[in-house]
Amino acid sequence: MSDLNSYGFGQTGSISTPQVRNRVLRNTYALLALSMVPTVIGAWLGVAFGLNLMAGSPFMGFIVFMAVAFGFFWAIEKNKDTGLGVLLLLGFTFFMGIMMSGLVGYTLNSYSNGATLIMLAFGGTGAIFAVMATIATVSKSDFAGMGKWLMVGVLLLIVASLANIWLQLPALMLTVMVLAIAIFSAFILVDVQRIINGGETNYIMATLAIYLDVYNVFTNLLALLGIVGGNRD
């Protein structure tokens, strides 16, 4: 790993020049693009083999998901300055692909235009990312203060989602989806600007943050498109 570290592989350091900040941003975007590969593989395998943690007991599935996810977060944080951090991140994105497979499989099997909905969600997520990243790059405004309010919004979304496991209210489900898309789109803005301003100096951790933003935008957008535009005939 020392050879990788000598080239600045995932290292945390002081961001003092625009050139270094741009390098961190480029590395983040490159690793983000790479992380989509295990995500797609995980989703494909999940659909093919019917892997769905939420199928039996959604609440227990959520507990298992959170335990595994936070285990990955801890391990990635501990190894963020080494090549192992990259491998752990890619392993996490593979796991997230498996977690996504239930939604993807449902969309493909329940709607005759399921493949189109997935492509629309993919394109919509890409467009949202492009817009938010561009705003973060060119805007002179500081969006850092939004972070704590967005985190409060995420906690409220989690509570509402868990409550709706028992309540089963369609209106609440739609509200959660729309708010999730808005909140995580705003998080893209905050997380990209944090890299540009030098607030995040490790591209592995930067990639993890932006990946989670993009993942949540995509899954909620896909679920919303299925409800409003899915054809069951």
Cβ atoms within 10 Å, residue 152: 11
pLDDT in tens, 56-74: 778 888 899 999 999 999 9
Q: What is the mean pLDDT of residues 77-96?
A: 97
The arithmetic mean of pLDDT across residues 86-110, rounded, is 96
pLDDT at residue 18 greater than cutoff 80: no
In angstroms, the CA 66 to CA 160 distance is 16
Confidence of residue 16 (pLDDT cuts 50, 70, 90): low
Largest Cα–Cα separation, the chain: 58
Residue found by looking up tokens 């909905």 in the block = 117
Give the model confidence (pLDDT) of 201-219 as tens digits: 899 999 999 999 999 999 9
Question: Backbone dihedral region of 111: left (phi > 0), alpha (psi from -120 to 50 degrees) or beta?
Answer: beta
User: Which range has the worst mean pLDDT, 2-11, 15-24, 37-46, 156-165?
Assistant: 2-11
Residue type, 97: G
Does the pLDDT at position 83 exceed 80?
yes
Contact present, 107 and 117 (Cβ < 8 Å) = yes
State yes or no: pLDDT of 157 exceeds 80.
yes
Q: Domain ranges in the chain?
A: 2-229
Q: What mean pLDDT do residues 120-134 have?
A: 97
Mean pLDDT, the chain, rounded, equals 90
pLDDT at site 34: 98
pLDDT top residue among 162 and 94: 94
